Structure 1
Amino acid sequence: MPKRIVVPAALTNLALANNAKAQFELAELYMQSEHEDDIILAEEWALKAAENGHVEAMYWLGEGYTVYAKDMAEEDAEESKAHFELGYYWLSKANMQKHPAATLELAGYFRRGDVIEKDVEKSVKLVTQAAELGEVQAMRDLAFIYENALGVDADEEKAEYWHEKAQAAEE
């Protein structure tokens, strides 16, 4: 049986005092465990942090629920749908706080039509927003979108622009 995580009392006290940063740190600590009870605690603390406005916790939850929903899609469609809804909710909250990676992940919901109506134009707008916020993967995606006319007219200049932006951001 896997060992439980030992959490510093000072961190727990801060988290219990509604410190969102401490709540998210606890979530991350618990997530390192392989013990099922710790994994449950990780989600609970991440939810508290997100509800207290911690944008990274919002993204973390949104991404986690999305990954789980994709994994469950063939096994249990109802559970998958419920997790897609949670993922969409938290990614939308993080997007409102201008979190670049959450914005890019949210674009996928509109591209695929997960629990919302498929809207390629909205997806491209969100990818653009994420790129403008500095998300390198979004820059690469935009270059590809413009090169291959995916939901937009082909535009070599825009494709080259986003290629160069991505390359510069990586250096």
Structure 2
Amino acid sequence: MSKRVSIPTTLANRALAGNAEAQFELAELYMQSEHDDDIELAEEWALKAAENGHVEAMYWLGEGYTVYAKELRQEQPDESKSHFELAYYWLSKANILKHPAATLELAGYFRRGDVIEKDIEKSVKLVKQAAEWGDVQAMRDLACIYEHGLGVDIDEDKADYWHDKSQTNHQ
């Protein structure tokens, strides 16, 4: 049996008092455990933090639900769909708060058509938004989109611009 996570009392008290930062920190601590009860507590505390407006918790939930939904897709399609819906919800909330990585992940939903109608134009718009907000992977993706004409006209100048920008921001 795996060892449970040890939680500092001051952190627990701040989280219980409604401090979103502490709630998310608690979620991250619980996630380090391999104990099933701790993993459930990680999700519960991340949800509390997200509901209290913690944008990183929103992204963390959206990313986690996306990964889990993809794992379930073949064996449990209904369960997978509900996790994709939860992921889409939290990624959308984080996008509204201008979280670049969440916006890039959300673009994938429009590209693939996961629980929403496939919309390549919206997907490209979200990738561009994430790139403009500083997400280096989005910059690389946008360079590729323009280089290969994926949902847009091929534009070598824009491809070069985003490629160069990704290189300068990566360093």
For Structure 1 versus Structure 2, the TM-score category normalised by the shorter chain is: over 0.9
Match of 2:60 in 1: 60
Question: How much does 1:80 deviate?
Answer: 0.3
- CA-to-aligned-CA distance 1:18-70 (integer Å, 9 cap, x gap): 00000000000000000000000000000000000000000000000000001
Amino acid at match of 1:31: M
Amino acid at match of 2:77: A
Match of 2:10 in 1: 10
- How far apart, in 1, do the equivalents of 2:170 and 2:127 lie? 18
Question: How much does 1:163 deviate?
Answer: 0.3
TM alignment of 1:65-144, pairs within 5 A: 65-144=65-144
Match of 2:34 in 1: 34
Match of 2:157 in 1: 157
The SS at the match of 1:121 is: helix
Match of 1:146 in 2: 146
- CA-to-aligned-CA distance 1:70-113 (integer Å, 9 cap, x gap): 11100100000000000000000000000000000000000000
- How far apart, in 2, do the equivalents of 1:152 and 1:19 lie? 44
Structure 1 unaligned residues grouped into runs of 5+: none
Runs of 4+ aligned residues of structure 1 deviating over 2 Å after TM superposition are none
Q: TM-score, normalised by structure 1?
A: 1.00
% identical aligned pairs: 77
- How far apart, in 2, do the equivalents of 1:87 and 1:75 lie? 19
- How far apart, in 1, do the equivalents of 2:30 and 2:18 lie? 17
Count of aligned pairs: 171
- How far apart, in 2, do the equivalents of 1:47 and 1:88 lie? 14
The SS at the match of 2:40 is: helix
RMSD: 0.3
Amino acid at match of 1:37: D
Q: TM-score, normalised by structure 2?
A: 1.00
